[in-house]
Structure 1
Amino acid sequence: MTHRFELVGDTKVAIFDGHVDNEIIAHTIATYRTQKKNDEPFGLMNLNTVVEHFLDWKLQLPRVEPFYAVKCNNDPVLLKTLADLGTGFDCASKAEINMILDGNLAPTDKIIYAHPCKTRSFIEHARKYNVKMMTFDNEEELQKINGLYPDAELVLRIAVSDPSAQCPLGIKFGCEPSEVAPKLLQKSAAMGMKVIGISFHVGSGCNDPAAFQLAISYARNLFDIGKSMDHDMYLLDIGGGFPGNDHEKFSRFASIIRTNIDEYFPPSENVRIIAEPGRYFASASISITTNIISATKVPASRITKDDGDSDKDGYMYYMNDGVYGSFNCILFDHFQPTGRPLFPSSDIIPSEEYPTTVWGPTCDGLDQVEKETKMRRMQVGEWLYYPDMGAYTKVCATNFNGFEPPTYYYFMDNTTWSYMYAMENGH
């Protein structure tokens, strides 16, 4: 695999002559590390995947500007790549706003402070740096913003959610759209506060795209009400909830969203439409490769909870990353990672699979990555490969018990590099 290195921001990125994927590169790195007796876990970010998802977004949702949700994964290389593609950013705190501004990643009109419950000092910080767009969903928040940042451009967040979503959000944020939302628009007008649009979030990891249809229809009604109160309504924020590793599912979502946007907000109205995708860009681009640090043979019944398996073999493996590191997505994102041996079975390593439990490295019993799976017999020192590990993983990792998060490596192919950067570098 011939490659060279280029800089994306301040980070070296491997540029390969031909197409490569995470698992192939993981093979190479793991082999080298084994030779060097380095068994530390590592992550890989495939920037090709990020660019491919961006291009597919522009193809399927041409009227919708993606404002990447920084909370999903704040890796600086990912943020820089998305910025260079021209995305905006959904920020939820002072620190996230600073990541974008300090890195000169986007102008302030490409940042939305999309948190309906804001710290007072964070609002003042947004005012200081002229970040005007921000969400609200209640009168108390409206009064708070009015007292600290009366020139803010407000986006009213309504509650329309998919109860089957991976992480439903309607319970915590968003006002009732039929009766409460019009009253908040009226209150805003009476206070002289500028409301520029409506936002919603159907839930992170949405499963039912019909939630978008309902939310867009509510937004249309509130646009008309807001305009009747002299609000300059020109922004629709359709939030997040887009799948990160299912192209067919995304296509279904995009079709429904396109149809309803065109019906309720025709292009002739020149409404600015944005969204807040997070996992859509982050999830599939990243894989984690871990090393088995301990292995224990147990009665299979200990894993399957079936007394009939007491005379069969099962195995418990302990690896050097877990729920306090990259796999916190199990707790925070309700995502169940599924790993597999990085290297295939052989004559020496039989392919027969056994009931298996996979644990993280800490001394906490909560640190369980896979409760019950099937896997071939593994040895201490072997590697496990986990795909689709970019969403709500690295951003939440800790060093509990002294276990450091994985080292990350970044790559793309030369065609993607040329698309992104060749002209600006004079190539």
Structure 2
Amino acid sequence: MTDRIREFLRNRRDDGPIMVVDLEVVAENFTKFARALPDTRVFYAVKANPAPEILNLLAEMGSCFDCASVVEIEQAMATGASADRISFGNTIKKEKDIARALQYGVRLFAVDCEAEVEKIARQAEILGARDAKVFCRFLQDCEGAEWPLSRKFGCAAEMAPRVLEHAHRLGLQAYGLSFHVGSQQTNMGAWDAALTTASSIFATLAERGIELKMVNMGGGFPTRYLKDVPAAEAYGAAIFEALTKHFGNRLPETIIEPGRGMVGNAGIIESEVVLISKKSDEDEVRWVYLDIGKFHGLAETMDEAIRYPIRTERDGDAVAPCVLAGPTCDSVDVMYEKKPYDLPVSLSIGDKVLIEATGAYTTTYSTVGFNGFAPLASVCI
């Protein structure tokens, strides 16, 4: 916790859970990514935390933006960022949204199949956007990631040349490739494996007369939860080594899309203990119910994939195992039961609990009024 967040919470009087983001930490993170890969453009993944204060700060620092919807594009452009600093990175887009993005001036689009290419080509022809660029996302092994990605996005690597050839034939610029090695990726070698595939696809298309120019290396950069993670500098060195190994002196343009790594460690949620109970007289494990749960910001506790650091005002006292659950009338609103947390035995109803490293994927995962509970409040300082 930073001194700025500590001071804010000390003076806070509002009721209910809140997530506090220290913008100075966000600025430090951006600088680290920019220095770690100085020849790579940083496209902040807006979905991680679209708070206007964060977007404005990053825009001022020179960041570009990876957007998943027209609303996110509008949020990025509200900072004053020009359209050439925006990528429509979702591979699943309505055709009317593609048209809107093109009208805004966005020219960089993700695809993973011929049908998506055809939607972009139709709208580019209608709107005269002959400079529209597409990059094809291919599937990549997410081994080593704490939050692995499914097969929802991306195509098999052997399909990518066909998808990009189709774009070329339809008058679009077959611009490059993208991949994602999984969120909270702690295996720095994951990028090497993906770049092996990317270089092979580059070579295949070059033989067919299509010169790709860009590799979008996605996100996956971790934030620290309960375990230490490598620094941005270490990832930068590993990625640059892999790029030079596979592309030699003809390095492509490169993009990274940090989200969690940009804002995760900048935020802390302050919550309150609503109830502490046991399920039987013989049960040694207590149930601690907080005023926040899976439906109000902590969706990434699903399957206990992300285990947040938790602090209480009674740290230092004797501890015992606890199941952590949320306040709603839904049986899945349980965060940690398979592997309970050790929390102070002296913890009491009404005590404050701090959930650290929650700056990413919390406010955006919060429901709008499920069970009548308000969405997670947030403030940037």
Partner SS, residue 43 of structure 2: strand
2:142: which partner in 1?
A: 162
Once residues 26 and 197 of structure 2 are traced to their aligned partners in structure 1, the CA distance between those partners, rounded to angstroms, is 32
Q: Which moved more, 1:402-411 or 1:55-64?
A: 402-411
Shift of 1:341: 0.7
Once residues 86 and 259 of structure 1 are traced to their aligned partners in structure 2, the CA distance between those partners, rounded to angstroms, is 25
Distance 1:94 1:325, change over 3 A: same
Letter in 1 for 2:334: Q
Shift of 1:26: 5.2
Letter in 2 for 1:315: R
Letter in 2 for 1:295: I
Shift of 1:32: 4.1
Once residues 163 and 8 of structure 2 are traced to their aligned partners in structure 1, the CA distance between those partners, rounded to angstroms, is 56
Once residues 119 and 164 of structure 1 are traced to their aligned partners in structure 2, the CA distance between those partners, rounded to angstroms, is 33
1:264 aligns with 2:246: yes
Once residues 29 and 5 of structure 2 are traced to their aligned partners in structure 1, the CA distance between those partners, rounded to angstroms, is 22
Q: Which moved more, 1:209-218 or 1:62-71?
A: 209-218
The unaligned stretches of length 5 or more in structure 2 are none
Letter in 2 for 1:294: L
Matches within 5 A, 1:122-201: 122-150=97-125, 151=130, 152-169=132-149, 171-177=151-157, 179-201=158-180
Deviations 1:221-258 (A, max 9, x none): 32333344444522221111111225525444322201
Q: Could you tell me the percent identity over the aligned residues? A: 27
1:388 aligns with 2:369: no
Shift of 1:389: 0.5
Contact 2:276–2:349, Cα closer than 8 Å, also in 1: yes
Contact 1:244–1:279, Cα closer than 8 Å, also in 2: yes
Shift of 1:287: 0.4
2:302: which partner in 1?
A: 331
Shift of 1:339: 1.6
Between the two proteins, the alignment pairs up a number of residues equal to 369
The unaligned stretches of length 5 or more in structure 1 are 1-20, 303-308, 346-350, 412-427
Once residues 25 and 89 of structure 1 are traced to their aligned partners in structure 2, the CA distance between those partners, rounded to angstroms, is 27
Distance 1:256 1:301, change over 3 A: farther
Which of 228, 252, 256 is 1:275 aligned to? 256
Distance 1:29 1:192, change over 3 A: closer
1:61 aligns with 2:26: no
2:343: which partner in 1?
A: 375
Shift of 1:134: 0.4
Once residues 373 and 234 of structure 2 are traced to their aligned partners in structure 1, the CA distance between those partners, rounded to angstroms, is 41
Letter in 2 for 1:391: A
Deviations 1:55-100 (A, max 9, x none): 2112221121110111111111111111111110001111111111
Letter in 1 for 2:325: W
> Rg larger in 1 or in 2?
1
Matches within 5 A, 1:179-258: 179-245=158-224, 246=228, 248=230, 250-258=232-240
Partner SS, residue 115 of structure 2: helix
RMSD of aligned residue pairs (Cα, Å): 2.4
Partner SS, residue 135 of structure 1: strand
Distance 1:25 1:253, change over 3 A: closer
1:97: which partner in 2?
A: 73
Once residues 218 and 305 of structure 2 are traced to their aligned partners in structure 1, the CA distance between those partners, rounded to angstroms, is 19
Contact 1:297–1:316, Cα closer than 8 Å, also in 2: yes
Distance 1:358 1:143, change over 3 A: same
Shift of 1:299: 5.0
1:109 aligns with 2:109: no
Distance 1:319 1:169, change over 3 A: closer
Deviations 1:115-153 (A, max 9, x none): 122111111111111211001111121222222224321
Contact 2:67–2:89, Cα closer than 8 Å, also in 1: yes
So what's the TM-score if we normalise by structure 2? 0.88
Which of 261, 270, 275 is 1:294 aligned to? 275
Contact 1:26–1:289, Cα closer than 8 Å, also in 2: no
Once residues 228 and 193 of structure 1 are traced to their aligned partners in structure 2, the CA distance between those partners, rounded to angstroms, is 19
1:410: which partner in 2?
A: 380
Letter in 2 for 1:375: L
Partner SS, residue 187 of structure 2: coil
Once residues 110 and 232 of structure 1 are traced to their aligned partners in structure 2, the CA distance between those partners, rounded to angstroms, is 22
Once residues 71 and 20 of structure 2 are traced to their aligned partners in structure 1, the CA distance between those partners, rounded to angstroms, is 25
1:354: which partner in 2?
A: 320
Contact 1:159–1:170, Cα closer than 8 Å, also in 2: no
Once residues 354 and 219 of structure 1 are traced to their aligned partners in structure 2, the CA distance between those partners, rounded to angstroms, is 49
Letter in 1 for 2:143: P
1:305: which partner in 2?
A: none
1:9: which partner in 2?
A: none
Shift of 1:335: 1.5
Once residues 47 and 290 of structure 1 are traced to their aligned partners in structure 2, the CA distance between those partners, rounded to angstroms, is 21
1:363: which partner in 2?
A: 329
Shift of 1:300: 7.8
Once residues 349 and 341 of structure 2 are traced to their aligned partners in structure 1, the CA distance between those partners, rounded to angstroms, is 18
